[in-house]
Amino acid sequence: MTSRELSRSLWKAVDALGSRSRPQCERTVWRAQQSFQPRISRCISTTAARYAEATEQETWEPFAAAPPIEFDSSGDGGKKDSKNMMRTLRVVPASPSYFSAKPTFTDDFLSLSALLRTVATLPVIPPAEAPKVAWKTIDQYRIMTNEPVKTARYHKMLHILRRLNCIHPSLVPDEVVQAMLRYKKPNQPGDIKPTPGVIDELGRSKGVGRRKTSSAVAWLVEGEGEVLVNGKSLSQFFGRLHHRESAVWALKATHRLDKYNLFALVQGGGLTGQAEAMTLAVAKSLLVHEPALKPALRRAGCVTRDPRKVERKKAGHVKARKMPTWVKR
């Protein structure tokens, strides 16, 4: 197509546009311009322009703030109305941790902290002299509250409880005693008391001791230091020096070898178990005569029973834990 024919076709198009209505002409011109002009992708924000146009066209409606609340009303029921209004304005939950999943621990911790602040000025005693209390374990507390309490947080609560327990026993308030009952075990160390030993008409005191599978019964009576074990002398029954010292260690540690006569019956186990069973039996019988020797006997290790035993053999093992030698082929 030649240039003259192109110009003629353009003139014809312009004449056709002039005969149409105005909106259609504008739309056709816009499309022609878009066809001749190259397209350029641009990111133009029109939010500000549209907001300016909207503010020019629209008018904001007038508004006013809420009227102030008059708590001191002059009516007859002014006080009652103000109280009712305060209740409806904001409902304060009974628990400070109402919006937490499990508020039991938080409530307990806050109550103990508040109680400690009220009694913080009372005189205290050293922790070693405070009454011995067995507190509930973390597992027992979790079962009681049905809450997965962390160990570190429970230890903080125990620290407050131990501080409350150190208040002087004669000045402990009743509210502190009632608060600590919730966290104590059902059985306390001081509740179970052994029956006191009795010296019979012959001046003898009896003591029973056990170790491993051995058991021993010892009788002590004031004398010159004679020792009989199953009707034999100490050197005849125990050949090793270590076993002899273990049998009469309670008397030797308190320097009472030459003040009492000892008669013992032992059975079960071996010589080591029998000798150590006699240690506990002699210590118990000695405490009947002289209860004041208990701290010295405890330091010597004669008061508490040794719970260790030989571990049983397992099936497929050579011994309790030894496995057979592994052979590749």
Tens of pLDDT along 24-79? 555 655 665 555 455 544 444 444 454 445 444 444 445 455 566 565 655 555 55
Same domain, 117 and 177: yes
Give the domain extent around 162: 103-181
Tallying the residues shown for the chain, one arrives at 329
Does 71 reside within a domain?
no
Pair of tokens at residue 175 = 């509210």
Residues 177 and 210 in one domain: no
Does 292 share its domain with 213? Answer: yes
Domain membership of residue 320 (yes or no) is no
Please tell me the distance from the alpha carbon of residue 2 to that of residue 7, in angstroms, as a whole number: 9
Q: Is residue 81, in this structure, part of any structural domain at all?
A: no
Q: Given this model, what pLDDT does residue 189 score? A: 80
Q: Is residue 174 part of a domain?
A: yes
Minimum mean pLDDT range among 26-35, 199-208, 265-274: 26-35
- Domain count for the chain: 2
* 322 in any annotated domain: no
CA neighbor of 133 nearest in space, from 86, 85, 180: 180
Q: Which residue among 147, 181, 215 closes a domain?
A: 181
Band of the pLDDT at 159, cuts 50, 70, 90? very high
Run of H or E residues at 206: strand 205-211
Is residue 271 assigned to a domain? Answer: yes
Would the pTM count as exceeding 0.75?
no
62 within a domain of the structure (yes/no)? no
**Mean pLDDT of the chain, nearest integer:** 82
Helix (H) / strand (E) element for 221: namely: strand 214-222
- What pLDDT does 96 receive? 72
312: in domain: no
Residue 210 sits in a domain whose CATH number is 3.30.230.10
Strands 205-211 and 214-222: antiparallel
